[in-house]
Structure 1
Amino acid sequence: MSHTLEWKTRLYLFEEDGTTTARATLDTGTTVLTGHGAAHRNPADADVPEIGDELAAGRALRDLGRQLLDIAEGDVGSADARSHAEAGPVLGWSL
């Protein structure tokens, strides 16, 4: 069984007063998830916006990934419970 999907991801970055925030969205076509991240520059550090962007974006994407894994784990648990109830084969998804 083969299938192809396209999921759309967008990353939004905002910087103000030494704080960078990021919002990452994932649109699967049936579900939209949003991850959030932030980075705060120490006033003693040099003002290098790229570092704040990288940190905030990475944290937003990590949050998004955690949400996606949580959903997948729940789906595997539900599918496993259904397969046991139907006396079918046990699913072997590795998490």
Structure 2
Amino acid sequence: MTTTREWKVELFLSEEDGTTKARAVLDTGKATFTGYGTAHCSPQDVDVPEIGDELAASRAMHSLARQLMRTADRDLEAMGAGVGSPPEPGYGWPYTAP
């Protein structure tokens, strides 16, 4: 049986005095997760708002991903699966050189 679910992430960005803040909100229908990220423009750098947006948003999404992984790990452990330490450098398919 095939099922389809749709989760939407809302991403909110704000910028003030060279600091960009991002908040990513995911509502799964059973839980809500919120990730935060910031980016600061150094005084000697040219202020390019798009770069601040990209950095802050990616950091908020990364925070959200870490929360989801921790929740999945806890859920797996509750089901009796041995999770252990996450593989380095992250989760996913193992890297094999071409």
TM over 0.5: yes
With the length of structure 2 as denominator, give the TM-score of the two structures: 0.80
**Equivalent in the alignment of 1:64:** 64
Distance across 1 between alignment mates of 2:31 and 2:75: 14
- What amino acid is the match of 1:73? D
With the length of structure 1 as denominator, give the TM-score of the two structures: 0.82
Q: Which has the higher helix share?
A: 1
- Is there any run of 5+ residues in structure 1 with no aligned partner, and where? 82-94
- Is there any run of 5+ residues in structure 2 with no aligned partner, and where? 82-90, 92-98
* Count of aligned residue pairs for this structure pair: 82
Highest Rg: 1 or 2?
A: 1
Distance across 2 between alignment mates of 1:20 and 1:43: 14
Distance across 2 between alignment mates of 1:70 and 1:22: 21
Cα root mean square deviation, aligned: 1.1
**% of aligned pairs identical?**
57
Q: 1:9-64 CA deviation, whole Å, 9 max, x = no partner?
A: 10000000000000000011111100000000001100100000000000000000
After superposing on structure 2, the runs of 4+ consecutive aligned residues of structure 1 that deviate more than 3 Å are none
